[in-house]
Amino acid sequence: MSTSDSRIPVGILGITGTVGQRFAQLLSVHSQFRVVAVGASERSAGKTNAATGLTIVACDPVHFGNCKVVFSALDASVAGEIEQAMADAGIHVLSNAKNFRMDHRVPLVVPTANPHHLDALKNFNTGKGFIITNANCSTTGLVVPLKALIDKFGPIAQLHVTTQQAISGAGYPGVPSLDILENIVPFISGEEEKMEIEPRKILGPGFVGDKFVLDDTLRISATCTRVPIIDGHTMHVSLQFKAAEKPSVEDIIKCLESYSTEAQSLKCPSAPSRSIIVHTEANRPQPRVDRDLERGFAVSVGRIRKCNLLDLKFTLLVHNTILGAAGSSVLNAEIAHAKGLF
Ligand SMILES: NC(=O)c1ccc[n+]([C@@H]2O[C@H](COP(=O)([O-])OP(=O)(O)OC[C@H]3O[C@@H](n4cnc5c(N)ncnc54)[C@H](OP(=O)(O)O)[C@@H]3O)[C@@H](O)[C@H]2O)c1
């Protein structure tokens, strides 16, 4: 790498994992960031990381002193302590782990849903690095169309979602093949709880007074399952608006198709040209066919129709390791940079 390279030096924590490898792929060709350090556990330290050509170091801030930002794909069992140490050392952290997501003073941001929550960081003058978290992979897919619908038609009172989640969502090496091939596992530990609370922070009013406030209208019931798909989480959603007057299916389609966010208006390099892709074919979206649309940064929505019990139902698909994980962190960093936060 030439010393005249003016891109912002960044590090990746958890480079050996499923999300860490996706970070390496997205950042290897990035116009604003260049990877100068990669970390994992002591087990991996000293090995060469093939994707970046860098030697893996332990996740200690002393090895990341050249980095302005670190992208974290750490296992939750260690993420809290390491990410806090990085922030204390003045390094900004963009995290995929669950540890700080519900912290009252940490933004939980899906870049194509609530990028405005990043503005709260302007109020914090700690002299340390900030921590920005992105959401659980399923939550991420869900909140993008919800944000579009709430902006246009007002609060959602209740929602039921059933997921069919890909194997890569369980990390590396993940679910044993004999458990998942020709099978469905109807339980993912901790996942339903995350899906039922995280959207209320993301879709809430943001930073009010001295903390992020939760949406107090939205009630969610989630059922999460693991299916034999490598990448791409599919979700089936039924929801009810609070308002007595209900939008038509045509209104819903128009709303989702015209949805646009700050990620686009700030011209961030990873922003999709369309955050939501509406499919009108009856058998779409499908993981193998649609997960890579807009380089994995879009949410696909299809099967939009009236619900006999609530108001509306639809199926959605999100690429769980791109928009659902590493891609969200990278796009959040681009937005934070465009907003002058670093
Ligand atoms: N997979 C997804 O779709 C997805 C989506 C959203 C969020 N997330 C979250 O993102 C994070 C990473 O997920 P993943 O699926 O990539 O997990 P993973 O494949 O299990 O990778 C975990 C990473 O953490 C590192 N690690 C483990 N113990 C460590 C220690 N003591 N010190 C330093 N590094 C350590 C591992 O390094 P070694 O190889 O050296 O052990 C590995 O690089 C998790 O918090 C997960 O919940 C994942």
Give the CATH number, domain containing residue 147.
3.30.360.10
Are residues 261 and 286 located together in one domain of the fold? yes
Q: Is residue 228 part of a domain?
A: yes
Contact 129, 86 (CB under 8 A): yes
If one residue of 43, 47, 49, 75 were mutated to test the ligand 1 pocket, choosing by the most ligand atoms within 8 A of its CB, it would be: 75
Whole-number Å distance, alpha carbon 72 to ligand 1 midpoint, is 8
Choose, from 59, 67, 137, 224, the residue flagged as catalytic.
137
Query: Which residue, 293, 322, 263, 296, is CA-closest to 115?
Result: 263
**337 catalytic, yes or no?**
no
Q: How many CB atoms lie within 10 A of CB 213?
A: 14
| Tokens matching residue 93 | 């952290």
Q: 3-class SS at 51? A: coil
Domain presence at residue 73? yes
Long-range CB contacts (within 8 A, 24+) of 258-262: 259/144, 259/145, 259/147, 259/148, 259/151, 261/111, 261/112, 261/113, 261/115, 262/115, 262/116, 262/335
Same domain, residue pair 172 and 279 = yes
Same domain, yes or no: 120 and 224: no
* Domain at 334, CATH number: 3.40.50.720
Q: pLDDT at position 125, please?
A: 75
The two tokens of residue 101 are: 């997501």
Q: Is 137 a catalytic residue?
A: yes
Helix axes 327-338 and 18-27, enclosed angle (nearest 10): 50
Question: Ligand 1: residues within 6 Å at CB?
Answer: 14-20, 40-41, 43-44, 59, 73-76, 78-79, 96-98, 136-137, 168-169, 171-172, 320-321, 324-325
Indicate whether 314 and 330 sit together in one domain.
no
- Residue 92 has a pLDDT of 98
Q: Is residue 218 part of a domain?
A: yes
Statement to judge: residues 104 and 230 lie in one domain: no
Question: How far does the centroid of ligand 1 lie from the alpha carbon of residue 296, in Å?
Answer: 20
The pairing of strands 312-318 and 233-241 is antiparallel
According to the model, what pLDDT value does residue 127 have?
Answer: 85
User: What is the pLDDT at residue 3?
Assistant: 57
- Provide the number of structural domains found in the chain: 2
In this structure, the dihedral spanned by the alpha carbons of residues 9, 327, 116 and 159, taken in order and rounded to 10 degrees, is -160
Indicate whether 3 belongs to any domain.
no
Q: Is there a single domain that holds both residue 126 and residue 217?
A: no
CA of 283 to the centre of ligand 1 (A): 34
| 260 and 124 both lie in a single domain | no
Total residues belonging to the chain:
342
Centre of ligand 1 from the C-alpha of residue 308, in Å: 41
Are residues 247 and 274 part of one domain? yes
Range of the domain at 190: 137-319
Same domain for 261 and 131:
no
Residue 144 sits at φ, ψ, to 5 deg, of -65, -55
Strand partners, 314: 237
Atom of ligand 1 nearest to the CA of 21: 16
> Are residue 86 and residue 151 in the same domain, yes or no?
no
Q: Are residues 208 and 107 in the same domain?
A: no
Q: What are 218's two structure tokens?
A: 């939205």
Binned average pLDDT, 10 residues per bin, the chain of 342 residues = 81 97 97 98 98 98 98 98 98 98 97 98 88 98 98 98 97 95 98 98 96 96 98 98 97 98 97 98 98 98 98 98 98 98 95
Cβ 161 vs Cβ 104: under 8 Å: no
Question: Based on the domain organization, do 43 and 162 belong to the same domain?
Answer: no
How far is Cα 230 from Cα 138, in angstroms, rounded to an integer? 15
Residues 225 and 167: their CA atoms lie apart, in Å, by 10
Q: How far apart are CA 318 and CA 127, in angstroms?
A: 36
Question: Is 311 within the bounds of a domain?
Answer: yes
Q: 1 in a domain, yes or no?
A: no
CB 188 within 8 A of CB 136: no
Domain presence at residue 176: yes
Question: Measuring from atom 21 of ligand 1, which residue has the nearest CA?
Answer: 17
Which of 74, 132, 328 is the best mutation target for the ligand 1 pocket, counting ligand atoms within 8 Å of the beta carbon and taking the most?
74
